[in-house]
Amino acid sequence: MNAPFLEIRDLNVQFGAITALQSVHLVINESETIGLIGSNGAGKTTLTKCVVGALPTEKGSILIDGRPVAFSGPGAARLAGIECVFQTQALVDDLSVVQNIFLGREICGAFGSINTRAMRSEAKALFARLGIPEDLLDRELRYCSGGERQIVALSKAFYFQARLLFLDEPLTALSIQKKHVVLELLQKLKDDHRSTIVMISHDLAETYALCDRFLIMNRGTIVRDVLKSAISYAELEQFMRGI
């Protein structure tokens, strides 16, 4: 049998006297869309940061394709095809949308010079494919709304074909219109089947609509791992109220 894409075994993280993660075990397979849910302080973001190498672990192991990994940071995780879009996206305000999409992975021409024309052409084709207005491309990021910034971050992950994409509260503080656009983009990412998506969200209704499986965290551990087909929205909501 093939090893699961991502496996976490007995992961523990301590912040002084506070136990942030305790004996976390989970398995994630290719092309799944998973909702990682729980109240504030449950350990969702801490778990994500451990996977992408942004936080050291006290104990336990992380395996990709059955092989143990220990990323030195998000850049190393990105080289392995693992992206994370945190609430504070790694974007630069005084660069254009095109420059942000290719930030750190610019298309270069002769003698290592940055090929601005090629990057814009690629970004234009990407936006056309995703149904995003082209007029956003040349705008400086500082003039983009929260929803537009989220679109830029997701488009970047889509272009570079992330194998595993963590989304930390992708719908927070968005207008109804921009939330709809971001959800459409997430659905396209899901339908593309190139990325495994882990969605961290407090928006239970939208998470339930999009995801196929739910990992529920409480006090630093996973208390339930359930398929969407095995739990109704009302049951999931009731379980969340209970914890």
Whether the full predicted model's pTM is greater than 0.85, yes or no, is yes
Taking only the tens place, the pLDDT of each residue in 205-232 is 989 999 999 999 999 999 999 999 999 9
Residue written as token pair 């005084």: 94
Q: How far is CA 113 from CA 17, 68, 107, 130, in A?
A: 50, 37, 9, 28
> What CA–CA distance (Å, rounded) separates 45 from 120?
33
Q: Is the pLDDT of residue 158 over 80?
A: yes
* Residue-level pLDDT at 23: 95
> What CA–CA distance (Å, rounded) separates 167 from 117?
30
Task: Say which residue, 201 or 33, is predicted with more confidence.
Answer: 33
* Residue-level pLDDT at 177: 85
Which domains occur in the chain, in start order? Answer: 6-93+146-242 (3.40.50.300)
Which segments within 16-140 are labelled E, that is strand? 18-28, 33-37, 59-64, 67-69, 82-85
Nearest C-alpha neighbor of 198 from the set 16, 26, 21, 2: 26
Least confident span in 116-125, 131-140, 145-154, 233-242 = 145-154
Quick one: average pLDDT of 123-129?
A: 93
Q: Is the pLDDT of residue 90 over 80?
A: no
Quick one: average pLDDT of 103-111?
A: 88
In the 8-state DSSP scheme, what is residue 108? B
> Which percentage of the chain shows pLDDT scores above 90?
55
Taking only the tens place, the pLDDT of each residue in 175-207 is 888 888 888 888 888 887 678 999 998 889 989
